[in-house]
Structure formats: structure tokens, C-alpha cells
Structure 1
């Protein structure tokens, strides 16, 4: 029969020598590279846990000379960290088993019913469960860190009540409320009063269409009373056993002001171009007309001085128009720099 060759250190806390010998035989039958540590009392087991750092699993008798029952389990857990615990007992009390399992132990085995296969499976399942929980907790920590330390404000709210459930540090810094204040607020409390109808319409639309990441551009009110423009990205996630909404908000107030400035300037430029093209055309047309007349007049004609004077007048008028256009354009550049 092939034995499991993974190296394990197993602490067996059992005061009955006969029961320990049986358990030890079962373990040696299924594992080829294990170290079995035996302790008979709660006190000696705790001392072993403090001195030996590489215990992989604990097999715990439920009744010891110096402690027993639920209290024994709780005390061992206080010193065992995340080491899986498998209970070995002679009592087949279902109520007791449920209480013990609810405390987070890996399994509850009846001594009279165990054999090498049962104890082997219990140990393997307990180790696999520990690995899974460790990975799950690591994954949760990564996502929690991404939420907590995101430079952009983020929050989680309940779609049914609109109450904030959690917010990150960036949201606290940006909006000015404490975490406790946020948790006593709804998402309506960070909206300007005259935007409630728009908010409700947006929430209704998300119920009737397929939810997507991008929610839109909205106005939010800070605790200081300042109003900012934000771009919202949101999605449904599972949080503490229910479906909630995760929101990321990017402040685009400066961006929107910049775009608005550019759009205003573009309109001004179009207006300048249209207006000045008509204003410029008048003196330019006169100038071209006078030049044509000069071409037709002889050099000694009495009309030549008059025509030359008209050229000067039209030229000065044209120069003034061009100067006005340049001045207005420069004033737009200065306003842009100030913004």
C-alpha cells in the first residue's frame, strides 16, 4: 500500500495511552514522513505549541485531566493560530458536535468509528481547507488593499437603501466626511439638492438595462459645500453575503472647466473669423478697386492724388482691423493662462 509522503508534524493531545497508541498506528499506516508529538494535558500541549513552531495539525481529545469541552477547544484555539484542529472524542453528541464545529474546528470524529482511512481523509481535508482559506484571505486582502489605498475615491453602497457601507481613505480625504459619518449617510447626501431627480433617473435606468462599468458624469457636493464634477464607474460585487454596488469616482472638475474654456474660445474664434472676414472685405475691396482705377488713369491725371489718398485710407482701416483681431486673440490666451 502506497503511503502519503508529505512531511507533517502532528500534535496529538490525548491522555489515554491506549487511544494514543491506536491513533499513532493509524497515522504511521497512512503517512511515511510524519512527526507525531504526544501531550497528555492542556498545559503541556500549550507549552509545546509555544516552543514548536512547525505543527501542521492538531488531534485533540475533548476531555483532558485539566480541561474539557468547549472551554478546552476555545483555549487551544487561542494558542494554535490557524493550525487546523480535529476533535477526537468518545461522545457521539450531535448537539455538542455542532457547537464545537461552529467554533471553527476542522472535524469532529468519534473514536470508536475511526480507522486509518477516516483519520487520513480528515487530515487531508483539513489541510486543503486551510490552504483554500489562506488563499481566499490573501485574495481578500489584495482586493481590500486595492480599495483602501486607491488614489481615487471609492465606496460601496446598498442599492436598496442607498446607504454607504464602506468608503476608502481617498473618499474621506476628498469629500471631508469621516468613515462614521459616511456610514450614516446615503449617496443622496453627496448630491446637490437640485440634482436629486437626475440621480433617481440614473438609478432607475441601471435597473432596466444591463449593468455596465461606466455610469456617467455627475455633480457631487463636498462637506465644505463645494460642488465638483465627477466621472463615475461602478459595478455590482458580492460584499458580506449580499450584492452591493462598488463605485469609483474621478474628479474631472478642472478637466471640464478646461474643455469648457476651449469650447468657448473656439466659438469666439469662429465668431471673430466670420465677423472680421466681412469687415476686412470692405476696405480690401475698396483698395483693389482703387488700384484698378489707377491702372486705367494716365500718370498726369488730376484723379491720381485722390485715388492715392483713398489707398492710404483703406490701408489704415485694414491695419486697424488686423490689430483689433490680434489684440482680441491675445486677450483670449491670457485668460487661458489665468485659468
Structure 2
């Protein structure tokens, strides 16, 4: 029976036969099907989500309430925290549902989740790139920093970040809406991602694969090249600093960003340009890094060794306690 069904789907694709999609809703299998792991994983990822929400919203509040943090560096960090908060809220709540009951999502909800997932994942790539350029301007061109990173420039860069996210999300979601889903509605994932949805289609996905290759390629290559060039120039300038304290401070301001970028882009590259022999379970594990863990880690990565944030946090807590 399974062989007949697989052959039927193959013939539909081969002959280009299209019919109205009979699938109105999907079932998300979730991260694992092991019953003994469901409850522990539910509490683990609930804690991760709570840390992500508290960390990102806390950093947003601290930046807004402290005027000395109203600089380009913290302006971009504010946007990163906003993106991470929205990003984790698009993925985590639906994932948590899958640990306690059958996770059913309608076709419309699935496409909506896919759109916002793509929107925020692309936004994060470009906001990290903007942050790298800001560090380049601060370390390599300190005398021109106020002009290079003026309010107008920062706002234009931020608009560009969200425009790139919108264009990429529309391209991915539009191509996915063109697919026909016949009978199979079980998504082997904890969210509506592109690869598992393509596997369910009973029509050709060649156009979708081209869109994924083009959009993901552009949105990985451009930020990666910009990050590489920026940090190569930053490193060469840091090594010219004679003061050990100066080098230490420069490395400190850039180190957290390098860690965040490495985790995020590394996981994204593995997911969308992985070897063909990697299973869907491997996909799910790599996706966890940039959909669940990065939004939680970023507020801590950027604040643990940041004295400005520590001072601002103490001031904010004092205001809240004594008012």
C-alpha cells in the first residue's frame, strides 16, 4: 500500500498533473515521538522560551529607558532584541503545544507561520550585518564615526533590513502557496519550514527549490561576505593597537557579536545547504539552534560582559524599586 501511494505521488509529479489541494490542515509531528521525552522537553523549551522573552524584552526596556544607550550600537541591539522576541514567539508556542497533544495547524496558519519565520530569520541576518558594519566604523574609522553612523544612516539601514526580510518572506511564501498538497498532511517537523513542506507536495517543487537556492543564497552570501570583510578589517586594526587595554576592550566589544553570528549563520547554512544524506531529524536539531537557542542566548551574550548594560540595568532596577 505504501509503495502504491509513493508511486502515485511520483506519477503526479512526473506527468505534471495538478488538482485542487485536498489538504486543509497539517499535523506537526514535533521534535520527537518518544513519549517519555515529551514532558521533560516541554518544560525545557518552556524555560528557554521564558528566558528568551524576559531577556529580550528586558534588554529593550533597558535601552529605551537609558539615554546614554541611545547610540547606533544599542539602536541595532534594540532591533535585534525586538526581532528575537518576535521570532521566538512565532515558533516556540506552537512547538510547545506539540509536546502535550496532537499539534494540528490549518493551511492558512501554516503559511502565516512560514511567512513570519522567513521574515524574521532574514531580518536577523541583516541586523547582525548592520551591527558588524557599526563595529567596523567605530574601530576602523573612529574620527568619522558620528558622520558614518548618523541617525539618518542608522534608520535607512534598519529600513533596508526589514525590506529584505519582507521581500524574502513573500518570495518563499508565494512559491509555497503555488504547491498542491493532495493527501499526505503529516509534517515531520515542529514548525512549517520549507524542506518538510516540499516533501509533502504532490506536484513538482523545482521552482520552489530554485527560489530557496536563490533567496537563501543571497541572504546568506551577502551578510557572510560583509561580516567577513568587516571583521578582517577590524582584526587588522585591533592588532595595530599598542595598548593591551585597548586591544582587550576592542576584542570584548566584537567577541560577543562573533559568537552570535557563528551560531546563527552556521546552523542556517547546515539546514539549507546540508549534505543530501542528512535525515530530517538532523534538520530539526540544527533548526533548534537558530530558531530557539539564538533568540534566548543573544540578550545574555550581548550583556554579560557589557559594563554599559550593567550600569543601565542597575539604574533601571533602582527606579522601579524606589518609585
Looking at secondary structure, tell me which structure has more helix per residue: 2
TM-score above 0.5: no
Looking at secondary structure, tell me which structure has more strand per residue: 1
- TM-score (structure 2 length as normaliser): 0.22
- TM-score (structure 1 length as normaliser): 0.21
Determine which structure has more spread, i.e. the larger CA radius of gyration.
1
